[in-house]
């Protein structure tokens, strides 16, 4: 694992420890995707975070918001010190997001599943109507695709030819524990998407895949990124208690060490 | 009222390039020109209200002014979480124009009735609700609010007031007449019935077409008797919270003419339903007589 992936995970652990909450398995699953987008793909920087031409990152799987904040810290939008009160009564930062507390950096209020994808499709349609070059990247979980609004968005994005819209499926087989969803890529293709696959923990592969997923062909894009829950920590990958658990001081030290050695 | 709205949509799409209109497969004939001429901004978008509200929120976030037209229960109940998360929580604006409430589709059954729309929307902070009594009033309320950046719901009725049609202002109640024995709150399409019952009575009549935000000041200034009769074409009690907040610490006697909080399992006509549930001038007069003695 590249050093940046380790650093981001260590920050996520610290944030989870600070606010004593979090869904770290899910966070570790998608952190590399979020970093690849912000570092190599999106037209975005802290300086242009409110520019109308910027690209949008929409976190639809809100439980993984702790994957967004380390990336924004690394990019200079916030500092770890800004977040030392995370989760406290009057903090701007919590386990999910409240867009009204930010001017740039956070693009949507997340929390309930199945909202980010239609919101992102609307952003993409709005960008087209206004002739703006923005692309919209929505991070969704494979389990989230049980929500009907995800498929409603697929109909809309395809019918409206939103080739500036890209849904990234953090495919860590969460859905497998619930239902047999069948072939996600085939389903999205049937809905009219250009579908790409990638190893969701390989930064170079993600960069290459996202570069391909920009064809202005009138079809929305989907990148199905194969991931592993808790990737980067042996303990988290093996023990599902980390689906929803925050590290105490000793666990923080242990997990940090584990990430560093991964 | 519907025709006035759709004419306004036609005009809005043609003249205001930052407006977008979604219909959920109704009213297309009236706006066929703009549906054909402006496919990017005027759409028969598909029958998926939940997702559609999310799309509209995204459009609003990009600085556009979305307006949605559909059938009231699907626009206000199916979508309740979208209203909360996508619009209220994110402080984004949309105009939602719903037809059918409360019992304008009288033969369709409870799926199409919607006496709970006012109560449901009023529970989500930041939302607005308008229930005009005539087509002219719809246009006044819509034009005053459609760009205010808030989620604003409009209940359009196929049974408007036929006699009285005062000018209205968004967020303000009209003082139709003043008297001393009681205050009658006439809501939306019940103004004609209220005035038929109360024209010769020594009572104050207030006319409400904006139900959220509720004009508490006008009520506070015009409720000296402490006796209130509410005549509202929605579930009983939809406005009680505001009435108590408007008149804090006051002993009140309140009578209500409204739909009872039950599942309607009957069909027939609109007038039959209004009679059955007592939303008539006669019932208003009887309740008023009881109230003022």
Give yes or no: residues B135 and B13 share one domain.
yes
Task: Name residues of chain A where pLDDT drops below 70.
Answer: none
Q: What is the pLDDT of residue A103?
A: 95
Per-residue pLDDT reduced to its tens digit, B196-242: 999 999 999 999 999 999 999 999 999 999 999 999 999 999 999 99
Q: Which residue of A has its CA nearest to B18?
A: A130
Chain B partners of A129 at a C-beta cutoff of 8 Å?
A: 20, 40-41, 59, 62, 64
Per-residue pLDDT reduced to its tens digit, A82-123: 999 999 999 999 999 999 999 999 999 999 999 999 999 999
Q: Are B237 and B119 in contact (CB under 8 A)?
A: yes
Count of structural domains within chain B: 2
Q: Are B61 and A122 in contact (CB under 8 A)?
A: yes
Query: CB-based contact (8 Å) between B287 and chain A?
Result: no
Chain A partners of B61 at a C-beta cutoff of 8 Å?
A: 107-108, 119, 122-123, 126
Best residue in A55, A99, A118 for a mutation probing chain B (most B CBs within 10 Å):
A118
Give yes or no: residues B18 and B135 share one domain.
yes
Among B129, B156, B183, residue at a domain's last position: B156
Give yes or no: residues B38 and B74 share one domain.
yes
Q: Of A109, A118, A132, which has the smallest distance from its Cβ to B90's Cβ?
A: A109
Per-residue pLDDT reduced to its tens digit, B3-48: 999 999 999 999 999 999 999 999 999 999 999 999 999 999 999 9
Query: What's the CATH number where B22 sits?
Result: 3.40.50.970
Q: Of A98, A127, A152, which has the smallest distance from its Cβ to B51's Cβ?
A: A152
Give yes or no: residues B6 and B68 share one domain.
yes
Q: What is the pLDDT of residue A118?
A: 98
Give the B window 58-87 contacts with A, CB below 8 Å: 58-64, 81-82, 85-86
Chain B partners of A133 at a C-beta cutoff of 8 Å?
A: none
Q: Could you tell me the sign of the dihedral formed by the alpha carbons of B103, B105, B106, B112, in that order?
A: negative
Give yes or no: residues B24 and B56 share one domain.
yes
Architecture of domain A3-261: 3-Layer(aba) Sandwich (3.40)
Q: Which residue of A has its CA nearest to B38?
A: A129
Whether residue B54 and residue A98 make contact (CB cut-off 8 A), yes or no, is no
Q: What is the pLDDT of residue B293?
A: 82
The 3-state DSSP class for residue A188 equals helix
CA of B52 to nearest chain A CA: how many angstroms apart? 7
Inter-chain CB pairs, A–B, below 8 Å:
102
Q: Rounded mean pLDDT of B54-64? A: 98
Could you give the angle at the alpha carbon of B169 between the alpha carbons of B164 and B173, nearest 5°? 70
Give the B window 29-48 contacts with A, CB below 8 Å: 40-41, 45-46, 48
Per-residue pLDDT reduced to its tens digit, B94-121: 999 999 999 999 999 999 999 999 999 9
Could you give the angle at the alpha carbon of A37 between the alpha carbons of B89 and A12, nearest 5°? 70
The answer to ipTM > 0.85 is yes
Chain A partners of B41 at a C-beta cutoff of 8 Å?
A: 129
Q: Which residue of B has its CA nearest to A125?
A: B59
Domain range annotation of chain A: 3-261
Q: What is the pLDDT of residue B259?
A: 98
Give yes or no: residues B44 and B124 share one domain.
yes
Give yes or no: residues B146 and B187 share one domain.
no
Q: Which residue of A has its CA nearest to B46?
A: A156
Q: Rounded mean pLDDT of B129-146? A: 98
How far apart, in whole angstroms, are the C-alpha atoms of residue A179 and residue A28?
Answer: 23
Query: What's the CATH number where B221 sits?
Result: 3.40.50.920
Give yes or no: residues B108 and B204 share one domain.
no
Is the per-residue pLDDT at B154 higher than 90?
yes
Give yes or no: residues B40 and B121 share one domain.
yes
Taking alpha carbons only, the member of B273, B291, B283 closest to residue B104 is B273
Whether residue A126 and residue B63 make contact (CB cut-off 8 A), yes or no, is yes
Establish if B166 belongs to a structural domain: no
Whether residue A149 and residue B46 make contact (CB cut-off 8 A), yes or no, is no
- Residue A193 carries which DSSP code? -
Per-residue pLDDT reduced to its tens digit, B279-290: 999 999 999 999
Range of the domain at B201: 174-292
Establish if B265 belongs to a structural domain: yes
CA of A56 to nearest chain B CA: how many angstroms apart? 11
Q: What is the 3-state secondary structure (H, E, C) of chain B?
A: CHHHHHHHHHHHHHHCCCEEEEECCCCCHHHHHHHHHCCCCEEECCCCHHHHHHHHHHHHHCCCEEEEEEEHHHHHCCCHHHHHHHHHHCCCCEEEEEECCCCCCCCCCCCCCCCCHHHHHHCCCCCEEECCCCHHHHHHHHHHHCCCCCEEEEEECCCCCCCCCCCCCCCCCEEEECCCCCEEEEEHHHHHHHHHHHCCCCCEEEEECEEECCCHHHHHHCCCCCEEEEEEEEECCCCHHHHHHHCCCCCCEEEEEEECCCCCCCCCCHHHHHHHCCCCHHHHHHHHHHHHC
Q: What is the pLDDT of residue A172?
A: 96
Establish if B45 belongs to a structural domain: yes
């Amino acid at each position: 694992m590249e050093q940046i992936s380790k650093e981001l995970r260590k920050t996520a652990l610290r944030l989870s420890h600070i606010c004593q909450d979090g869904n770290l398995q899910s966070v570790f699953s998608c952190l590399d995707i979020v970093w690849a987008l912000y570092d190599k793909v999106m037209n975005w920087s802290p300086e242009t975070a409110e520019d109308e031409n910027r690209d949008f990152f929409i976190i639809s799987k809100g439980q993984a918001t702790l994957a967004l904040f380390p990336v924004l810290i690394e990019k200079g939008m916030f500092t770890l010190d800004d977040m030392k009160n995370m989760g406290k009564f009057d903090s701007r930062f919590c386990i999910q997001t409240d867009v009204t507390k930010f001017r740039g950096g956070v693009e949507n209020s997340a929390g309930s599943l199945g909202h980010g994808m239609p919101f992102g499709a609307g952003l993409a349609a709005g960008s087209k109507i206004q002739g703006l070059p923005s692309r919209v990247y929505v991070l969704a979980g494979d389990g989230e695709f049980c929500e009907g609004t995800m498929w409603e968005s697929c109909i809309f994005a395809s019918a409206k030819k939103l080739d500036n819209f890209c849904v990234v499926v953090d495919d860590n087989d969460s859905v497998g524990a619930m239902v047999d969803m069948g072939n996600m890529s085939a389903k999205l293709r049937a809905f009219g998407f250009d579908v790409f696959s990638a190893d969701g923990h390989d930064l170079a592969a993600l960069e290459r895949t996202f570069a391909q997923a920009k064809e202005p062909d009138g079809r929305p894009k989907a990148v199905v990124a194969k991931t592993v829950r808790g990737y980067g920590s042996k303990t988290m990958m093996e023990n599902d208690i980390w689906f929803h658990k925050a590290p105490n001081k000793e666990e923080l030290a242990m997990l940090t060490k584990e990430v560093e050695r991964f | 009222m519907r025709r006035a709205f759709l004419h306004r949509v036609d005009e809005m799409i043609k003249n205001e390039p930052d407006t977008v209109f979604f219909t959920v497969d109704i009213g297309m004939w009236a706006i066929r020109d703009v549906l054909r001429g402006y496919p990017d901004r005027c759409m028969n978008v598909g029958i998926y209200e939940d997702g559609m509200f999310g799309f509209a929120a995204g459009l609003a976030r990009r600085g556009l002014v979305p307006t949605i037209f559909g059938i009231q229960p699907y626009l206000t109940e199916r979508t309740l979480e979208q209203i909360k998360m996508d619009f209220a929580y994110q402080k984004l604006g949309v105009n939602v124009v719903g037809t059918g409430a409360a019992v304008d589709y009288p033969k369709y059954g409870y799926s199409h009735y919607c006496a709970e729309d006012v109560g449901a929307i009023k529970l989500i902070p930041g939302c607005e609700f308008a229930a005009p009594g005539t087509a002219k009033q719809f246009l006044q309320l819509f034009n005053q609010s459609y760009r205010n950046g808030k989620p604003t719901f409009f209940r359009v009725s196929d049974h408007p007031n036929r006699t009285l049609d005062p000018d209205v202002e968004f967020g303000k109640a009209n003082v139709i007449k003043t008297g001393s024995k009681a205050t009658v709150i006439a809501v939306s399409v019940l103004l004609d019935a209220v005035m038929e019952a109360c024209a010769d009575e020594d009572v104050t009549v207030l006319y409400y077409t904006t139900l959220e935000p509720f004009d508490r000041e006008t009520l506070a200034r015009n409720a000296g008797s402490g006796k209130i009769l509410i005549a509202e074409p929605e579930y009983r009690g939809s406005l009680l919270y505001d009435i108590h907040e408007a008149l804090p610490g006051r002993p009140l006697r309140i009578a209500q003419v409204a739909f009872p909080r039950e599942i309607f399992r009957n069909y027939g006509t609109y007038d039959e339903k209004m009679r059955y549930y007592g939303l008539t001038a006669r019932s208003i007069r009887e309740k008023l007589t009881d109230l003022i003695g």
